[in-house]
Amino acid sequence: MATSSKVQLRTDQLPEYYREGITKEQTQRTSELLTRNHDRYHIFFRPGGLHNHIAHHLLCIWALNASAEQIQKNYETNEGYQRAQPAVDEKILKELSDPIGFLNNLTPRDNYHTFLQFFRDEIDRSSWQEVLQKYVFAGDDRAEAMFVRMFAGFLHPLIHLGYGVEFRQPAIVAEALAQAACHDDQIGKLLLPAEKAAKQYDDTSSKTIVQLLDTIHEDEGLRSAPHWDDGNKIYDGIIPRAGDRMTELAAQYHVKAEELDEKTAEMTNAVCYYTAGAQHPPNMVMFDFYYMHCVNSSIFFPAFFKQAWLSTENKVRLLEWKVRLDLAMYASRKCPDIRLDEIRDYKPKRPSGWDRIQDRVCDFYDEGHASKLVRALAHGQKICKPYEHKDEFRIKHDDWLQMGHMAIDSVENTEKFDGVAHWVRSAGFDEAWKDIPLRAQL
């Protein structure tokens, strides 16, 4: 049985998107390795940051029906550089039970294991659902501090939470909560004012996401706000140099309760549109590292919205914050042209259906971003299909498989060149493409 400290997957309890045929051997191997990761390793593999992606990776490829051998090899590829868990700080652990003590201990990464033990204990006393309600969605100061942090770190805490909820694993939920507690709250400087500003708009007057993307693209102030040498292009670029304008535009998107399914599909369609479309010919096709996180997190919203314990108000809020951050993420990479023709004219190097693409990505040994991207794209096609006739859904049926080929081809192509990363970083800057090979070199 899955507990707050043990991962136990089940073949009769499958996630939102999966491939048929998952065996007990694959399931047990994944469960054992994820429990080992939970017990042994820190969520940040460097003291200054960088996330341990083992949980994301193995859950994703298990859902894609990777073999037990592929699951084992992918785990071993990433275990060697992980950082051991430190000891629990018993003094801090006691302080976390008090709301003020909890707030006072947020943000330092060294507190991860202590927060992890705290949340495991809390889950053992009730349930992971009740703990999420209390510590993320209750609306008090403590929960608000955690809610903001779920959107920090390029959505990593939210992605981790998504895996915990979608795969029904209390131990992964505990990891997600502890991870969120160890992030800062700077993203709140954008998302909290946007939420406040949105209250001035009638909920029937929401712009579509692509309308807002078009406006952002044409806004010279937003395009010039992030600088190539900014350490964090949202915190150091968008917020201080164009925060009011970004807030004004982000506030124009809102969701009505009865639209959750359609608006989730719209969000997914839009982030896939600008992520796959942000190409820079004649350089080889690549996906932006930061945009890719907006796609990879999209898959969890249907799972969030199936939670009966989560209020409709909080479901709406989750989706509105996600879209507003997606808009800021697009602006933060210098608002690149979104080239739909690059998707539709793409020539796959090994044309196939989804099954073969998913086989290839399970056999691609990275830190898990590629497999997460492929699964999210395949899922996107599924949830967007009922709405493809609408203008705001610019990605249509055949485009999804094209993007799947672009994703797997791009990461495999990078293996041909020494020193070339799997992802381009900040695709709207010409500087980002300086060392990316040309298509003619493939």
Residues 120 and 198 in one domain: no
- Split at pLDDT 50, 70, 90, the class of 202 is low
pLDDT > 70? residue 375: yes
From 109, 182, 116, select the one nearest 145 (Cα to Cα). Answer: 182
- End position of a domain, from candidates 148, 166, 185: 185
Which pLDDT belongs to residue 204?
Answer: 66
What digits encode the pLDDT tens for the residues 421-441?
A: 999 999 999 999 999 999 999
Residues 146 and 210 in one domain: no
Residues 36 and 74 in one domain: yes
Half-sphere exposure (Cβ direction) of 402: Cα atoms closer than 13 Å: 18
Backbone angles phi, psi at 151, to 5 degrees: -100, 5
Q: Does residue 193 have a cis peptide bond before it, meaning omega lies within 30 degrees of 0?
A: no
Residues 157 and 282 in one domain: no
Residues 150 and 127 in one domain: yes
Which residues have CB under 8 Å from 347's CB, separation 6+? Answer: none
pLDDT > 90? residue 206: no
Q: Distance between CA atoms of 377 and 46, rounded to whole angstroms?
A: 30
Which pLDDT belongs to residue 19?
Answer: 97
Which pLDDT belongs to residue 205?
Answer: 75
Residues 244 and 386 in one domain: yes
- Split at pLDDT 50, 70, 90, the class of 201 is confident
Residues 302 and 160 in one domain: no
What digits encode the pLDDT tens for the residues 77-111?
A: 999 999 999 999 999 999 999 999 999 999 999 99
- In whole angstroms, how far apart are CA 122 and each of 102, 114, 116? 13, 12, 10
Number of domains in the chain: 2
Residues 222 and 172 in one domain: no
Residues 233 and 104 in one domain: no
What digits encode the pLDDT tens for the residues 66-85?
A: 999 999 999 999 999 999 99
Residues 199 and 161 in one domain: no
What digits encode the pLDDT tens for the residues 305-327?
A: 999 999 999 999 999 999 999 99
Which pLDDT belongs to residue 250?
Answer: 97
What digits encode the pLDDT tens for the residues 32-48?
A: 999 999 999 999 999 88
Which pLDDT belongs to residue 48?
Answer: 80
Residues 38 and 99 in one domain: yes
Q: Which domain holds residue 167?
A: 1-185
Which pLDDT belongs to residue 47?
Answer: 86
**Sign of the four-CA dihedral 133, 122, 33, 420:** positive
- End position of a domain, from candidates 151, 169, 185: 185
Which pLDDT belongs to residue 200?
Answer: 85
Q: Distance between CA atoms of 69 and 25, rounded to whole angstroms?
A: 10
Residues 79 and 101 in one domain: yes
pLDDT > 70? residue 142: yes
- End position of a domain, from candidates 135, 152, 185: 185
Rounded to an integer, the average pLDDT of 249-269 is 96
